[in-house]
Homo-oligomer: A and B are copies of this chain.
Amino acid sequence: MISRRPTHPGEVLLEDVIKPLNLTITEAARDLGVSRKTLSELVNKKSALSSEMALRIAKATKTSPASWLNMQTKLDLWNALQHEPKNVSEFPHKKAV
Contact = CB atoms under 8 A, between A and B. Distances in A.
A88 B54 contact: no
A77 B66 contact: yes
Contacts of A87: 33
A69 B81 CA distance: 13
Interface residues of A, number: 43
B33 A94 contact: no
A12 interface: no
B22 A89 contact: no
Interface of A: 17, 20-23, 28, 30-33, 51-52, 54-56, 59-62, 65-66, 69-70, 73, 76-77, 79-81, 84-97
